Amino acid sequence: MFSLSLLQFLTLLFILLYLFSLLRILVASATSSSSSSNGHKSYPLIGSLISFHQNSHRLIHWFTHLLSVSPSQTIVLNRLGWKNKMIITANPANVEYILRSNFENYPKGKPFTDILGDFLGMGIFNVDGELWSTQRKLASHEFSTKSLREFMISVLEEEITTRLIPLLESSIENGGVLDMQDVLKRLAFDTICKISLGWDPCCLDYTRPVPALATAFDVAAGASAMRGTAPANWVWKAKRLFNFGSERRLKEAVGVVHSSVTEIIRERRKQMAGSESRRDLLSRFISAGHGDELVRDMVISFMMAGRDTTSSAMTWLLWLLTWHPTVKKNILDEVATIVNDHDQSNKSQSLNFEDLKKMDYLKACLCESMRLYPPVLWDSKHAGDDDVLPDGTPVHKGNRVMYFPYGMGRMKSLWGKDCLAFKPDRWFTEPGVLKMETPYKFPVFQGGPRVCLGKEMAFMQMKYVVASVLKRFELIPVCLEKPVLLPMLTAHMDGGFKVRVHRRSDFDPL
């Protein structure tokens, strides 16, 4: 039988009284509301809560609209009280100030690290200060090594040759429908687990059951994302106190993730004690002398970063290419030229690091796709002290300050009147000369001291997979309607990307 402790009873009573008070204030203050210059209403005490609720199903589009009509491309919203301000910006000068110029004043902050704390613990993506700096130095060294890069390429070659291509061939033979978003998530999870843990979950082998770790990872990521959409932190903390709903699912999933990774760490320590040499990140972190808990949190953070981000970016690009045949032909021409320039004795025509570096047009396509559909739609910091952003927006200590890559990709002031169009050519200063925009105009990989360490490895992985798929197969979408972007910790395609697969040789040349 369910029973409440005194603390739980008092907490529940407080929540009910608080909600009742909010309702009374809402009714009483409806006539005293104020409209901001951006068109949303703010009420005493509850701030923009009503607007948030009304737009909860379309937050990214609402934010984008408010930013587009703001002269400074910055908006300020109040959430449950005057002190609970959220500042959202699509202004590159502000983004640079937050991520680089005044980096020390804009850490992740406790409100943010609390949200992901149960899942990511003390991993590099969820900490500030000295603990972040220590992990950053260690990870930076490892990501710069040639051996890790070569290990990644060998993992990709094996995964694509032995699993991805046979899976797509099998889909052709049985004439079935394949969800490429699911395929790419499985591929990315296999790849990042091999690189991070030296462990093969075999997710891309559809004849095997999905490992408990992979399923739990999905649940934990989704439930953690739900925390970020709550109107205030006390809402999800109350659910956690009562072990209710998404918080109960999160607790169970995190338990599976942590226990599974901890067991892999313990087994690896035994192997390393026997002088077995390994190239994965886990073995490198263990060799650095860190304890099991910190090593666990570090590898889980890298698994999260390397799994959903790359699969999201590739899914959206492959969908875009189905509607832009000329762009797809340009990619194929580039890949064919590079493959033909290979050592002719390389009968497998497998791609190496130097080949991938030359694929500038494919990189431009990836950048253009991520401009429109960034894997991480927004990122938040919390001000350490009072401040003023370059555009004049005042910031108070504790305010949540958020830069918004999704909205930035849709600002005419940044990308021109055709900002909603998929045009890879915008990434070239002249034919054949690739340009990379400043990370503060295109902050998909962050910028400043926290710029993504795995940026180049991510590009190599995405190039390898996309090139390998496109040169062999044609993907025909089952649904002709534009897919809906689902904002979670990373951006997903709602309902997946369902396709029928055909061999490219069965189609007329583009």
pLDDT tens track of the chain, all 510 residues? 445 566 566 666 656 555 555 555 444 444 444 444 455 665 554 556 566 666 667 789 999 999 999 999 999 987 655 456 889 999 999 999 999 999 999 999 988 889 999 999 999 989 999 999 999 998 888 888 888 889 999 999 999 999 999 999 999 999 999 999 999 999 999 999 999 999 999 999 999 999 999 999 999 998 998 887 776 788 899 999 999 899 999 999 999 999 999 999 999 999 888 776 678 899 989 988 889 999 999 999 999 888 889 999 999 999 999 999 999 999 999 999 988 876 554 555 578 888 999 999 999 999 999 999 999 999 999 999 999 999 999 999 999 999 999 999 999 999 999 999 999 999 999 888 999 899 999 999 999 999 999 999 999 999 999 999 999 999 999 998 999 998 887 889 999 999 999 998 754 444
Helices (H) then strands (E): counts for the chain: 20, 15
CA gap 439, 415 in Å, rounded:
14
Answer yes or no: are the C-beta atoms of 26 and 50 closer than 8 Å: yes
The model carries a pTM of 0.88
Looking at the DSSP bridge assignments, the partners of residue 493 are 485
Answer yes or no: are the C-beta atoms of 374 and 491 closer than 8 Å: yes
Nearest to 293, CA basis, from 451, 127, 151: 127
Answer yes or no: are the C-beta atoms of 289 and 443 closer than 8 Å: no
Amino acid at 46: I
Buried b (16+ CB within 10 A) or exposed e, 241-273: beeeebbebbeebbebbbebbeebbeebeeeee
Answer yes or no: are the C-beta atoms of 87 and 428 closer than 8 Å: no
Residue with tokens 């002190």: 83
**Which pair of structure tokens corresponds to residue 340?**
């033909």
CA gap 92, 73 in Å, rounded:
9
As a residue count, the chain comes to: 510
Cα-based distances in Å from 74 to 12, 66, 258, 466:
37, 8, 39, 36
At residue 59, the pLDDT reads 83
CA-based R_g, the chain, Å: 24
Instruction: Write the burial class of residue 295 (CB in 10 Å: 0-12 exposed, 13-18 middle, 19+ buried).
Output: buried
At residue 112, the pLDDT reads 85
> What DSSP designation does 481 have?
S
452 annotated as belonging to a binding site for a ligand: yes
> What DSSP designation does 126 have?
G
**Which pair of structure tokens corresponds to residue 58?**
């379309």
Residue 300's SS3 state is: helix
Q: Give the torsion through C-alpha atoms of 230, 233, 235, 241, to 10 deg.
A: 130
Residue 394's SS3 state is: strand
Opening angle at CA 237, ends 236 and 242, nearest 5: 95
